[in-house]
Amino acid sequence: MFNIEDFQKSRQGTFGKELHHFAQLDSTNRVAEELARKGSAEGVLVVTDEQTTGRGRKGNAWYSPPDENLYFTLILRPFEARLHHVPFIAGLAIVRMLSRISIEAELKWPNDVLAGGKKISGLLIQTSIEQNRLQYALLGCGLNVNTHSFPGQLMEKATSIRILKGDGVLREHVLASLLFEFEQLYGRIQEMSWSDLCRQVESASSMVRNCEVVVQENGKTYQGITHGLDPFGGLIVQLPEGRRIFYAGDIQSCRKN
């Protein structure tokens, strides 16, 4: 069971000060949505020890066994013009937090973090827009912490801190450290230009520039060379027939040029 006292002791900053913890939930995003609708402030956090229907991108399920990993959603109320910075900032925060515990990780566009070539974390951003105005954004994050063995084919694609370090770590400390990294970057969201952020993203990702990729989008496969991010976070890919910008999709494979 997640130890709230331990978490609050190691937490710095303000994000996570108001914490809603549950032993089991369908999805932390669902509960965070209810709270955000009722007016919960930026920084309010929903954490659970287990999700019965953890949501991933594109309707996928997120593997959420009890007491092993981190499953949480943070309520944010960013300026709409900066919304597309949020997933990149969150990915960078995860990479930085992992580097503090000597795990080398990298961003995989759009919303994944890989370590040792396998997925260690995934982000799901959900937004609410009413009367043309952004009401809130929910930053849902799954981070594999203490799982030592994933079921079936997931073992080939997923990894965890425990697998990489050979030892378990306290989820409470990992979450406190991650939130702090995120809060520091998020606190600079207005002053940090898009090009600054892109530079940081590029240095944390071998795939965003000069990388041969295969992109799957809407059942179609495209192969080309990446050329960085466009001003909205889309991935620019030089295809044989010309440049194309992807706003969603899966990079299936990648080789550095």
Residue 69: DSSP 8-state: S
To the nearest 10°, report the CA torsion of 234, 235, 236, 239. Answer: -130
Q: Minimum distance between the CB of residue 243 and ligand BTN, rounded to whole angstroms?
A: 27
Give yes or no for a contact between 110 and 213, defined as CB atoms under 8 angstroms apart: no
Among 73, 144, 200, 205, binds ligand BTN (CB under 6 A): 73
Q: State which residue, 7 or 224, has the beta carbon closest to ligand BTN.
A: 7
Q: x/- site string to ligand BTN, residues 10 to 49, per CB under 6 A?
A: -----------------xxx--------------------
DSSP state of 35: H
- CA 244 – CA 166 distance, rounded (Å): 41
Total of residues contacting ligand BTN (CB under 6 A): 21
Which one of 15-23, 76-84, 136-144, 230-238 is the stretch in contact with ligand BTN (CB under 6 A)?
A: 136-144
Residues 78 and 189: beta-carbon distance below 8 Å: yes
Residue 30 or 173 having the CB closest to ligand BTN: 30
Query: Does the CA dihedral 241-245-248-249 come out positive or negative?
Result: positive
Residue 56 binds ligand BTN, judged by CB under 6 A: yes
- Applying CB under 6 A, among 31, 75, 115, 141 the residue interacting with ligand BTN is 141
* Radius of gyration of the chain measured on its C-alpha atoms: 18
**Among the listed residues 31, 124, 161, 211, the single contact to ligand BTN using CB under 6 A:** 124
- CB distance 143 to 136 below 8 Å: no
- Interface residues with ligand BTN (CB under 6 A) are 27-29, 51, 54-57, 60, 62, 71-73, 111-112, 122-124, 140-142
